[in-house]
Structures are given as C-alpha cells and as structure tokens.
Structure 1
Amino acid sequence: MKCVSVSVSVLLWVLWSQTHGVHIRLQNQNCSDGVDAAVLADLSAVIHRVDRRFLSVTIDASLASEEKFMYLLSSPKIRTLAGALSPAFVRFGGTRQDFMVFVPRRPGPGSGEAAEPSCAELDLPSWLEEKLKADWTQQKLILLREDLQRKYRRVKFTEPNSYEKKAGIRVDGYQLGQDFTRLREMMSESKLYRDAGLFGPDVGQPRDHRVDILEGFLQTGSGAVDACTWHHYYVNGRDTSLEDFLDPEVLDTLALKTGEVLQKVQLASPGKPVWLGETSSAYGGGAVGLSDTFVAGFMWLDKLGLAARLGLDVVMRQVFIGSGSYHLVDDNLDPLPDYWLSVLYKRLVGPEVLKVEASPSVARSKRVRLYLHCANRNRYGSGAVTLMAMNLSKKPARISIHALVSSGTVEAFVLESEQPGEDGLYSRSVRLNGVVLKMLDDKTLPDLNGLRLPPSEHLQLPAYSLAFFVLTDARAAGCE
C-alpha cells in the first residue's frame, strides 16, 4: 500500500541499554505501512576523534594574482569573520595555487630590513578596501578569461594530475613521492622549517590514472608526509542542478571515494592521518547560483558529518575568500549561508564522533540525515552531545526523544532560508531560529544563541532545514 501522508514524522525512541547505547526508532506515524526500523546510537564510546582544526579553509590563490588584492585580508571585516573560524588551518587552494612559488623571507639581525608588522598593527583603510573590492570585480573577469585560455604565469610545480592537463608534462606518483622525500630531508636540515608539517600529494579523488598517482606516491613518499591529502567535489559546476544538491545519492558518493583513499593509505602507511586538503560542492569554481546559496549547506554539513564519521581528520573548505561561487565570504566581504553554518559547527560540535547506524529500510529514504558528536567542551559541560540534522525534503520532520535526554535542556539551532519553499533554496541569506543573520558592524557578529526547548518537547525539523540540537543532559559516557 502506498503511503500518502502529508508530512514525515521521525520518531527517535530512545531506550537505555546495558551497553549505554541508544536505540532510535524512525517511524512514519501518518501511514499504516510507513517505515518502522531501528537505528543504534552508542553513547558509551567515541569511534573517532578528529583534529581540533577539523573544519579548515583555503584562500583562493587567484587573490594573489596581484599582490595588492592580498591586502583585502587585512580588512577588519575579514579578520573578524576569520577569527570566528579559529582554530583552523589555512591553505592556498585552486588552480592558480599550482603556479605559486613560496619565497621565505625573514629579516636577520643587522640586515637593515624592517620587521614585518604584526596582524594587530595592520588595519586596512576603508577607502582602500572599497577600491580593492571594485578592482577585484574586474580582476575576476580577467582571471576567468585566462583560465579559459589556459594562461598561467610562472609554472613551477603542481598537483600531478592537474599538471599534466595544464602543462603537458606527466609526473608519476612514484617520482612525486621521491620528490616529497627529498623535500622532507631539506626541511630537516633547515632551522626554520625542520619542525614544519608537510602534507601531500593533494591528488584529486580516485578516478582513472589518479589512482595510480596515489598508489605510486604512497610507495615512496608516505613516510615523508604528516598527513595524506586528497581533493573531493561532488559535481561539475558547469552542468549541475538544484536537484543534485539535494540528492542523497550524490551526497553518498563521498563515502565511496573516501573508502577507496583510506584503504590505499592504510595499506601503505597504517595509522597515517588522511585529510581532505581541498573540497567543496562543485569543481570548476563552483556552481553559479547554487554554491553560494542556502542549498549548498546540505552538501557542506553532510560532508562535515560524514567525513568525520568515516575517519578523515581535517576538511579544508574551498574557499574562504577568492574567485568562483563556492566562497564563504562574497566579493563585498559579506558572509554567505555556508559561513554561518561553519561558525555554528565550530561553536557547537566537538571532535569526538559517536556511532550512529541505520537499518537498510531507514537508509533507503536518506532524506533526513543525522550525525552525532560530543558537544564542544569549551561551551558545554561533560556528557553533552550535539545532534546534527538535515531535512532534504519539502515536508517537515519531527524528532521525539525519550525521557533519557528530553528530561533536560535541549538547545536548538535551526537554519532555514530567508524565504520559504523551494525558491528560498537559492537565497544568499539564512535565518537562525527565525532571525536573519548579518554582521552588526565590520567587527561584530550577531549573537548566535540557541532556542532553549522545554523538557519532552519534540524536536522540529522544518522542510529544507539544517539544525544542531545540543542535548545538554545526555550524560553520554563517551563524552565525559
């Protein structure tokens, strides 16, 4: 019999087991033959602990196409926005990163050179910021034209799979690993860089000869790097659609690719950390009108939840600022929906991942996706957990919890588009618990407070929404 219910109701039925696990039953209450299956969430132990800088960012290398645009990083607004994402790694990313040359410069005593000013001493004047933003708009058009013509200056080094396409030279993984090993030796002989980290090979996701590059690199270079890095994008930004951004099957491709990489790395170098050194929704600069809008948040939050659960240690978002349409901060230096999602993740989610498993019948739906971590201990007490939830459906969902955790306070942080319905998915604004998020001034973020729900209150998950539910009294043994 076909289910014709108007809304989907997800019931989390929690039973405290002898192993301190949590059983969650998902049931469609409006349909006699709806889904009725068990999901196990074990609060007794942590299955993986990510790096404290798990959510990290890249800066698009195109910003350095002319040195003057790098001064935008001294904007008070940019420094405020970046500070809210700390702690994090920062990496130059994008195609033009392949053609950047790092030149260390450190004035020595008696050299006659003045020391570089500290960040605290830098404050970009407002008039210069406005001029640079206007110039950057024109510069992006120039860079786009050069990309189409494959014009790149100062070709020195790259990612191997991209290098063959752009420079016409094939570098195999075995040779690349030897080069990394030699670089590590050179770093160990340097007083300045002997304690620095080395990460690579930053190869694209497994496909065709990229698999050979990764395998070859691991044979000769796995011992030289502190973490093995690779890149992942779900779709091609030039021909994707809104439906792709909401498609559970598209989201699940991350698990397949991650499994391939983890298997190869662990065989060659057991215990070696694996990072997503560059990642976003769509490659090719992102998808115009999608990657910088509310709908991109589903790919982003699902990637954060799934990557941590699978065992990746760091995820570096392409980009914090730069060209393309997958940025967290737009050309006017205003934060986009994925920025606010990232800040909430930083504030609410701890590095400890808890186990959640769904039965096959529940997995077939995939429209309501859940991930569970210990809550951020800098903000919440011992034993608290954060449930990350997303509803890819146009129908609302409802989450009910047993007295085990509902007897205490639940803080809800529900993100929705500024406009309701499917049209709102294209919005570049986001509401937190009904309030549109925007900076109060160039140096002040708004209060990002949760909504405190009374005990036994159902957790409401509106259509097309993203949410963090902090269960402050969960008493999770794995989080104490």
Structure 2
Amino acid sequence: MDLKCIFSLAILVSQISLSSTQNVNVVIQGATPIAETDDNFVCATLDWWPTEKCNYNQCPWGKAGILNLDLKMKGLINAVKAFNPLRIKIGGSLQDQVVYGVGGVKNCPNFIKNEDSLFGFSQGCLPMERWDQLNNFFNQTGVKVTFGLNALLGRNRSEIEKGLWVGDWQSQNAGDFMKYTISKGYKVDSYEFGNQLSGAGMGASVEAEQYGKDIVVLKNLVKELHPDPKTQPKVLGPSGYYDEKWFNSFLEVSGHDVVDGVTHHIYNLGPGDDPNMIAKIQDPSYLNQVSQTYKGVLNIVNKFKPQSGAWVSESGGALHGGAKDLSPTFADGFWYLDQLGMASTYNQKVFCRQTLIGGNYALLNTTTSIPNPDYYGALLWHRLMGSTVLAVTQESNPNLRVYANCAKKKPGISIIFINLSKDSSFNVTLSNYEHQGRNLRSTDVVKPNFEFRGSKDREEYHLAALAGNIRGQIVLLNDVPMVPTETFDIPAVEPKLVNASTPIHIAAHSIVYVTIRDFQAPACA
C-alpha cells in the first residue's frame, strides 16, 4: 500500500471516528394539512441586470440579463424543460426603470451606466422583438410566466422626502404591453406590480395608500383586457420587504378582491460578502429567525384573505448578487431547501429563487448554464413534494430539519431531511399521529398514535457534497455525481429503493428526500 492510499485511509478512519449516529423519531400528522402551496411552488427569476452590474469588486452577471441572455443555450433549455413546468418571474431592481417598446414608445434604448440614476443605470426598454423571443423560449420549455411591471411610470421624486416617489401611476404603457401580449396569444399567469417600493424601499419608495390606489388601477386594466375570469392573469404586489404598517395600509386601501397574491422578498443571510455566512447557513437558531417574517405576512394575509395568499416572489439568500464562494455551492442548499420547507409550512404559495441564471446565487452557472447544486434540490422538491403540507415534529436534535408534504404523485407522502451537522448522522424512525381534533405546528409536542412500519420499499434520494466538501459545486445523488451529459441533458434523477423495515439513514451534512407510498395520511387521500 503506497503512502497516498495510507493517507486517504487515515482521513477516512478519522472521519468515521468523529461521526456519531443518533436515533431520532419523527412524528408526522397525517390527518389534517397545516398549509397548501401552489402546484408550482418552486419558482426562479430572470433579472434585468446588464453585464456592467458589479458588487464586492466583481461583476457576476455576464450575459444573463433578460435583454441579452442567449435563449438558445441547450443547457438552459434542458434545465427549464426538466421541471415541466417551471414558474419564472421576470423582474428585479431595474424593472421600475423599464418601458415597453410598443404603442407610443418609439425610442427603445438599452440600460446605460449612469451614477445619477436609480441603481446606477439609466432607463431601459424591452423591445417587442425581444418579448417575442422570450415567449418563444417560454413556449418551447413550458414556463408559467409572472411578469413584474414598472410601478414608477408617471411618478416623480419627492422634493421633500429623499427616496420617496410621488404622483399617480401611468398605466398606458403597461396597457399597450398587455394588448400586444394578448394579440400574440402569449400567456402570462400573473402580473406583479413594482419591485421593492414598500416601506422604506430599496432606492425608491411609494407611500402605501398611493400604492393601494394604483394596484386597483392595474386590477381594473387586467379585468378590462381579460374579461374571462378563467384566463385572467393574477395581480400580485407589493413585491418588497415586509413592513407591517405599510402592508396593512396597502391592503386596506386596495380592498379584498384586488390583490391575488401578497408578495414579499427574503434575503435573510445578509450581505454577500459576509465572512460568517457559512456559519449562519448551518445554525438552526439563525435559520429560525426568518419565521417571524413568515408569521407576520401570514397573519396579514389571513386578515385580508386575498385569493392566492402570500408569495415569496424573490429570495436569493445573500444580497447584492449572492455570495461568490457560497451561493453556488452544496452548502447553500442548507439555507435554500430549509426556506422552501419553512415557507410552505407558513402557507406561502410560491417561492421564487433569485435567480435561474445570473449573479452568484443562480441555480445555473451564468456562463455555461450547467446546474449548481441547488438546482437538483429544487428539481427534486418540484417533482416529489405535493401541494398539501403536513405538520412534523422531532424533539431530538435541532440540526435535523424535517418537512413533509403529501407526495406529488399519489399515493403517500414525501419528506425532506436536512442535516446541518458535520459530525452527527441520524437513523430516523417515523410515527404517524392521526388525532383529528388538533392542528399541529412543528413546535407542538405530541404523543404519537403508533410507530409507522411500512411494507413497501421506500424511495430515497440522498444528496451529498463530492468528497464531503460542502463548499464545492458538485453534488452527488445516491453517490452518483450530477453532471449534465455532453449534449447538456440533465442526468436522470432516480431513487434508490430501501427496505421499509430499516431506519432512514441521514448522513452528516446531507440532504435526503424520501417518498413513502404506504404511509396512511388521510390528508393525502
């Protein structure tokens, strides 16, 4: 045996000796659901940022902006097709500076760097030729489109309050854009009004009462142009950071039947250059903090009862393009997939990842369109986790995060386990709590009715980092590296079948999806 083999063996032995295995019982309440998501809960964004957009002395956008993305890249096409369908939201910081090259708009310029303008760029324009190309891509790949509209058109900067924009929204350009879209037979699932203009805003803000009045104008425009309620796009807003007072006023003014989805943004990891981010991502108490935002939004939605509930319409984890050495790595999945789970338990209907492509936080590599690790976690959620959310409890270890939904394809349930610990693995047994009289949240302590003992093989999908390097960009699925083929096809995502009589093994620093076909959950019948 040569020295290299001896050294490798020594490392392996040391890792094994440092790792401990803990027995954990997870209780799933299968009787009644605690929440319901949209069928297309997993969503990704396309952003307007041009190549010149830079943060932290780097410019990570390349040619991934809406106006210059190569829509013929095979990797991009195949990655989107794999979802069948994927919800894509078009928007971002510059959307309130975009005019649409239709109707009275004759001059249709691209964004130009201008330090005196909002976010350092001049007003830009979406030519209808480019809109045609985008819709050809959407039709080819099977995309449900959410389009973010410019909510600053017609307004002016306040002369009294810095950052505040005042005046009524001008709907003419948006109306011309919608008419063109209808004339071409393009399908838009929903229109979102503005971007990060709520509360104090990001760069710009609009008062809640004014915003509420203007979204009524948008709703009336949508209803006028789409008289059939069955094909009428939803109206979403305000698409900003949650501010209780502002959101409350906005929804009071807009009324009960106007806003179909209350949209908000989550960037709970902070600035993308934070050196402590890797610790935050693995800290259960830190990850739990954002639940207060979800609770707040849920409460305000329940108060006003908009038809479509709450949406997270943008979340990239780390701000300003993401974290260069973390967002595109396996470790980011501890944050991202935990957010999908947490958001779903708080009845958030949709969760849009910033971005599909572009910036450091993209699901796909900006240059090559090769999937980053989070892409596979998102694809598995979309394929396995149904829209009905179940209550889950486990009292043993906070490093083991567990979420359960009815299986996307009946029968049974699908569960995601996220192990934040680098030292501990878990052997999990399940108990089925069928008491119908209580509705449980994940924090409730329950006495399970019985331990679940299945007879059908479980379907398991174990995600782990190559060589245990959670800061690497190669993910293993059941020990097989997930790498596209030479023709950029997405590799097959297949489960391993495991005897139902054995515990579910969750290795240290791994993420595991499990589908159990014979788990009796009345909520999933």
TM-score (norm 2): 0.70
Separation in 2, partners of 1:394, 1:342? 22
Separation in 1, partners of 2:427, 2:312? 33
SS of residue in 2 equivalent to 1:446: coil
- Please state if 1:439 is matched with 2:477: no
Aligned equivalent of 1:389: 417
Separation in 1, partners of 2:430, 2:35? 25
Amino acid at match of 1:174: E
Shift of 1:442: 3.4
- Please state if 1:224 is matched with 2:258: yes
Aligned equivalent of 2:501: 456
Separation in 1, partners of 2:459, 2:472? 25
Select which of 23, 26, 41 maps to 1:10.
Answer: 23
**Kept in 2: contact 1:160–1:171 (CA 8 A):** no
Aligned equivalent of 2:11: none
Query: CA deviation digits over 1:35-75, x for unaligned, max 9?
Result: xxxxx421122222211011111112225998895451232
**Kept in 2: contact 1:245–1:296 (CA 8 A):** yes
Answer 1 or 2: which has greater helix percent: 1
- Please state if 1:406 is matched with 2:443: no
Aligned equivalent of 1:119: none
Unaligned runs of 5+ in 1: 13-23, 25-39, 106-138
Aligned equivalent of 2:268: 234
Query: CA deviation digits over 1:72-123, x for unaligned, max 9?
Result: 1232221110111232321123322332234568xxxxxxxxxxxxxxxxxx
SS of residue in 1 equivalent to 2:470: helix
Select which of 444, 454, 471 maps to 2:516.
Answer: 471
Select which of 303, 308, 311 maps to 1:267.
Answer: 303
**Kept in 2: contact 1:58–1:93 (CA 8 A):** yes
Shift of 1:164: 6.5
Separation in 1, partners of 2:403, 2:248? 31
- Please state if 1:213 is matched with 2:249: no
- Please state if 1:371 is matched with 2:414: no
Shift of 1:354: 1.3
**CA spacing shift, 1:170–1:412, aligned 2, 3 Å:** closer
**Kept in 1: contact 2:37–2:347 (CA 8 A):** yes
Amino acid at match of 2:426: A
Shift of 1:477: 2.4
**Kept in 2: contact 1:238–1:284 (CA 8 A):** no
**CA spacing shift, 1:64–1:263, aligned 2, 3 Å:** farther
**Kept in 2: contact 1:293–1:426 (CA 8 A):** yes
Aligned equivalent of 2:235: 198
- Give runs of aligned pairs for residues 34-45 of structure 1, distance below 5 A: 40-45=27-32
**CA spacing shift, 1:68–1:468, aligned 2, 3 Å:** closer
Query: CA deviation digits over 1:399-456, x for unaligned, max 9?
Result: 2357734332111100000122xxx111011000111001113352211111111231
**Kept in 1: contact 2:30–2:390 (CA 8 A):** yes
Amino acid at match of 2:470: L
Moved more, 287-296 or 221-230: 221-230
Amino acid at match of 1:203: G
**CA spacing shift, 1:308–1:193, aligned 2, 3 Å:** same
Shift of 1:251: 1.2
RMSD: 3.1
**CA spacing shift, 1:103–1:47, aligned 2, 3 Å:** farther
Shift of 1:146: 6.6
**Kept in 1: contact 2:43–2:86 (CA 8 A):** yes
- Aligned positions, number: 399
**Kept in 2: contact 1:52–1:87 (CA 8 A):** no
Select which of 307, 320, 326 maps to 1:284.
Answer: 320
